Amino acid sequence: MTVPSNYAMAATQKRPEIIEIAKGLRDTPMCEDYEKMVSGMLYNPFVPVLIEARHRARGRAADFNNLDTKTVPAEKLAEVRLALLKKLLGKVGENTFIEPPFLPDYGCNISIGKDTFINWNMTVLDTSIVIIGDRVMIGTNVSLLSAGHDTSVLSRRKLVEFGHPIEIGNDCWIGANVIFLPGVSVGEGCTIGAGSVVTKSIPPFSVAYGNPCRVRRTIQSAEEEEKDPNNPYRDL
């Protein structure tokens, strides 16, 4: 998924590739305003169809976050939570587990792969599409913020905003308190250090951290590690 060259600004036309992704997600409120929203164009978030979509997400998020775990056997908890996530999110893979509280905006604009673990208190402003891959591990208090606003004061009086997609590739590790800004992507196999603010995209197999987040070194892929006889994880 590519991002605009200047993701701090609104797009000027629809992005068919983003709309096509949205069509494959559950319960997206497909309409003209929604297509503008996920494409990164200026849109009014207070049109009725978008208000209703957010309202629906609040209810489903409440069901997920307020699950009474005392009534669920420990061996069934992951299964019950995944069933609730399948109602809340646009797409979610098997064996993915999120510790509540989990705070999405629309929910339907979020796609999460399989075998992913997300710790407490993740916020996702999924104004545009947010994609999280397989086998991703995410620490506490992480924020994925696809929503953006112009610096224009008049834009706020006109009640318009925009958003750009965020993508996290397979096999990433995201430390606690990381913030992702609109339009960034993180390639597969990356580690993002705790407290980082990701303002630009990070290439695959990078260790990156800081504010702003910068690549500090690169690492081997899993396939390269498998071929390394000295790798301590190879024979586990």
Residue 180 in tokens: 């992702």
Rounded CA-CA distance 169/188 in Å is 4
Beta bridge partners of 174: 138, 192
Cα–Cα nearest to 26, from 3, 60, 2: 60
Catalytic residue among 149, 197, 207, 218: 149
Joined together, the tokens standing for residue 203 give 């290439």
Sheet holding 214-218, edge to edge: 97-98, 117-118, 137-138, 173-174, 191-192, 206-209, 214-218
Active site residue 55: no
Q: How many CB atoms lie within 10 A of CB 144?
A: 26
How many CB atoms neighbour CB 125 within 10 A?
A: 21
Residues in the chain: 236
Four-residue CA torsion sign, 185, 163, 107, 29: negative
Give per-residue burial for 200-234: e unless 16+ CB within 10 Å, then b.
ebbebbbbbbeeebeeeeeeeeeeeeeeeeeeeee
Residues known to be catalytic: 149
